Amino acid sequence: MIYTFPRTKEFFEPAELVLATGVNKERFGEAILKELVDNALDEAEKANKAPVIEIAAEPFLSIRDNGPGADIQDLLNKILDFSVRASSKLAWKRPTRGYLGNALKTVFGMAHVLAPEKPVVLESGGQRATVTVRPLSTGEIRVNPVLETVPIKPGFSVTVPVPVSLNCSTFAAAVLFNPHATFELSGRCVQRVGDVEKYPAEAPVSPHWFDAESLFNLAVMVAGQEDLTVREFISRYFVGLSGAKAGQAAKSCPVKRIRDLVFLEESQGRKAALDACTGLLRTMKILSRPVPPAKLGGVGRENMAKRARQLFGVEAEGRYVRKEGYTWDDRPYVLEVYYAPAERKHIVTGLNFTGTYNPLFNSNFLGKSDSWGLHGYLKELLKSRYESGFFLAVHVIMPGVEYTSRDKKPYLPVDVVQAAGEAVARAVNSVRRAVQAGSCGGPEEATTLKEAVFAVLPEAVEKASGGGRYPYSARSLYYQVRALIQQYTSRELDYNYFTPGLLTEYQEIYGPLEGLYYDPRGIAVEPHTGQEIPLGTREVADYTAPDYLYNKVLYVEKKGILPVLKAAGLDKKYDLCICAGEGYASRAAKDFLAMAEKQDIVVLCLHDLDINGLEIARTLREETRTSRNAVTVIDLGLRYKDAVEMGLEKDPEGVPLKKGWHKPVLETLPHDELEFLTGDGKRGNRVELNALTPEQLIGLIERKLAEHGLAKKVVPPEEVVLDEARKRFDAVLRAMAERRILEILEIPAVVEKIARSVKVPDFGGLPGDIARALEDNPPVSWRDMVEEEARDFARAVLEGVDLSRFLKIGHRQ
């Protein structure tokens, strides 16, 4: 599929080529090398092979891949039309190496600038094309290809009449970030070191990667190749939008076929076409979830370490940090950072499994001044050690990367840059602490328990997560840490000291540990459906509030009162999701509340009248050591004023005020409430929610909901109600009709007749087949295999039976 749009002589004028590639004329050879290596890797991956790229750099640059090859004549027809720009990747927004569509066109242009009148040679499938290109003063481009038949060799090769140096950063990045490829260079071979996982080149894309403009461009491209309905377009090319969802999304588009968007632009203007795409895209995003960052793949720790050793002679053990997340517009991203001590200074950056013409993070790193680019940031981290040797690789994977112009300088969102800064700091500081601890020679007095834990945590994460492949709990991580710190200290690590204390502090400094999960502490209960969502990090991450089911969520610090609230029907009466925790909100509980707030659901809090109760409400509103989520919260109490009005008695035992009892929330309280809570300074007062009768508790909540104007139930927009009514009517009608038809046809009796009329197949060989199939431990049960075999036989038998002769439809009065 080729997406074309006008271009002229820019491929052959040096100034235009500088704009198109982002490099000056002196680096044109490097740019040619990068374009051809990227193309070779892409072609080899198309054949599902481990890429083998042969490169000769002198006297001319020649590159051959082991891909499927190409039809030379067809390729020439596309790439030698210099009036257009051609790219099959441009409109898809996938995380691909190539993006701007320069490829072989700029190669021809740069080759002409560096070696005028000399030909570029293409070869594949027994065809060779020797192509000479000459731009005329009139603006016309005269192309002279000479075709000949040659012995067939595998793959596709390009020879450009210029020598190049392989000692450049873009080529180093291409080799580093493609560990699954073998590079056969003149006199040297860089062997592949492992496999990589990548987002498939032809996989469906996500609507969350697009805006209206780019969706329209994609639609135009597809319309030029296929005549599809909007529903077929959505179902075929977008992830998570098949079947009924595709149909529902298509209803939001004012046209029925993709080509009609082009006609809409012609008849009513571009704004009308973009408005149509805006509405369609909004619905598609609502109906689909963003692609998880893990789906983008990555290079991986072992591959990074092996390539660093191959390319740069880095022998020291390094630290690998992987961070995953979403940008503000729900595009997933993956950051991989590898840092290790080295004899010389090496900094390599890459984007989507290749290098960039200009290093990433050259300026405004972490939002600082230009001096705080990546180099400036490293100087701040390393201080005097910056001038000594180290190796640093930073790799970004994300779809839909935008560029500041045609200069191939990628624009990375601020949140990605921020995450990169945190990842670099974690890797650098981890190595620095490990080196410092190792230099102490091991006496336990030289290293505190905290320093030892911080030094080994990155390695412990690697072990607990199986190299980033599996989730892990704090308990599992603790056992790995406990074993590793013995190289620094003989002291025992207590679990209660490790978490939440040290583990929380470490994440405060270096960012959340990817893959770390916390077991559920509490549950959230949906109204009307009764679905219970355990408040664990994994369970909450997989949950999204259903549209128009509830408009409020109440965090209650005590699970024990949940049955009372449900028995009173408060959840159904007020369309209220009840989130019952255990004291302070866990990270998962705060994630749940933050998710609700993003969906315009009001967050409420109910707590004891004591210092900790009021702190629970405050910590929901602010970032804490365990959660970066800050949520807008309405405090329903219990407050001192409520207790007085209700005539509640304070707890006779009170609350011992131990060390650290003075909390920030106390500075915001009225004098009478502060005096009640702090008592005599040694023992404070409290009133627990459990002290309220069920009637008092329910009355308190209902009164507070009314005071805040939150007693209203969910009332969806008119179009949502009408659509739901039509869908429910259709579903009920079909179910009733099916039941009536089954009654009329007397289906059980008919099925019995059919079953008696067919011959049972001979399954004699099945036990042996199953025994052999199970020798390799496939992830299935023998019952699954019997089920599949029986289904195949039944399908074959029924295909040969005329079922209509068994059906006798009578008429009933």
Q: Which of 561, 511, 504, 548 is nearest to 694 (CA)?
A: 561
43: tokens are 């072609």
Helix (H) or strand (E) holding 158: strand 156-160
Domain 518-707, CATH class in plain words: alpha beta
| SS3 letters across 794-813 | HHHHHHCCCHHHHCCCCCCC
475: tokens are 């308990």
CA distance 156 to 63: 8
Q: Which of 452, 462, 530 is nearest to 492 (CA)?
A: 452
Q: Which of 742, 37, 792, 580 is nearest to 357 (CA)?
A: 37
> Could you tell me how many helices (H) and strands (E) the chain has, helices first?
29, 28
Average pLDDT over residues 208-236: 91
Three-state secondary-structure class, residue 468: coil
Helix (H) or strand (E) holding 771: helix 766-773
247: tokens are 């149909």
Strands 319-326 and 602-606: unpaired
Q: Which of 462, 468, 464 is nearest to 478 (CA)?
A: 464
Strands 319-326 and 332-341: antiparallel
CA distance 324 to 319: 17
Task: Please report the pLDDT score of residue 808 as a whole number.
Answer: 63
784: tokens are 């699954």
Could you give the percent of the chain with pLDDT greater than 70?
Answer: 89
Distances (CA, A) of 657 to 239, 296, 683: 55, 51, 5
Task: Please report the pLDDT score of residue 609 as a whole number.
Answer: 93
Average pLDDT over residues 761-774: 85
Average pLDDT over residues 104-131: 87
391: which strand partners?
Answer: 340, 346
CA distance 470 to 99: 32
Task: Please report the pLDDT score of residue 584 as a whole number.
Answer: 84
Task: Please report the pLDDT score of residue 574 as a whole number.
Answer: 92
* Comparison of pLDDT for 37 and 621, the residue scoring more: 37
298: tokens are 């990555």
CA distance 545 to 770: 44
Span 696-722, pLDDT tens digits? 899 999 999 999 999 999 988 889 888
What sections of 647-710 are H helices per DSSP?
671-678, 694-707
Give DSSP secondary structure letters for 82-148. Answer: TTEEEESSTTT--S-S--SS-HHHHHHHHHHHHSTTPPEEEEETTEEEEEEEEE-TTS-EEEEEEEE
CB 553 within 8 A of CB 601: yes
* Comparison of pLDDT for 476 and 446, the residue scoring more: 476
CA distance 707 to 636: 10
Distances (CA, A) of 316 to 61, 146, 338, 347, 389: 34, 53, 12, 16, 11
Q: Which of 235, 239, 104 is nearest to 160 (CA)?
A: 104
Average pLDDT over residues 537-558: 90
Domain 3-165, CATH class in plain words: alpha beta
Task: Please report the pLDDT score of residue 1 as a whole number.
Answer: 34
127: which strand partners?
Answer: 124, 149
Give DSSP secondary structure letters for 365-407. Answer: GGG--GGGSHHHHHHHHHGGGGGS-EEEEEEEE-SS-EESSSS
Taking the complete model, does pTM exceed 0.75, yes or no? Answer: no
- Dihedral over alpha carbons 444, 450, 453, 455 (to 10 degrees): -80
Distances (CA, A) of 375 to 26, 346, 401, 725, 739: 24, 11, 23, 60, 72
Q: What is the CATH code for 290-431?
A: 3.30.230.10
Among the residue ranges 112-126, 220-234, 399-413, 596-610, the one predicted with the least confidence is 399-413
Task: Please report the pLDDT score of residue 741 as a whole number.
Answer: 84
Query: Per-residue pLDDT for 52 more than 90?
Result: yes
pLDDT-derived band at 5, boundaries 50, 70, 90? very low
Amino acid at 313: G
Query: Per-residue pLDDT for 691 more than 80?
Result: yes
User: What does the mean pLDDT of the chain come to?
Assistant: 84
Query: For the chain, first and last CA: distance in Å?
Result: 61
Strands 3-6 and 84-87: antiparallel
Calculate Rg over the CA atoms of the chain.
33
CB 9 within 8 A of CB 142: no
pLDDT-derived band at 654, boundaries 50, 70, 90? confident
CA distance 775 to 766: 15
Three-state secondary-structure class, residue 563: helix
CA distance 152 to 147: 14
Task: Please report the pLDDT score of residue 503 as a whole number.
Answer: 86
CA distance 390 to 377: 14
Query: Per-residue pLDDT for 578 more than 70?
Result: yes
Could you give the percent of the chain with pLDDT greater than 90?
Answer: 31
DSSP state for residue 500 in the 8-state scheme = I
* Length of the chain as a residue count: 813
526: tokens are 């949906």
Span 266-318, pLDDT tens digits? 999 999 999 999 999 989 988 888 888 888 999 999 999 999 999 999 988 88
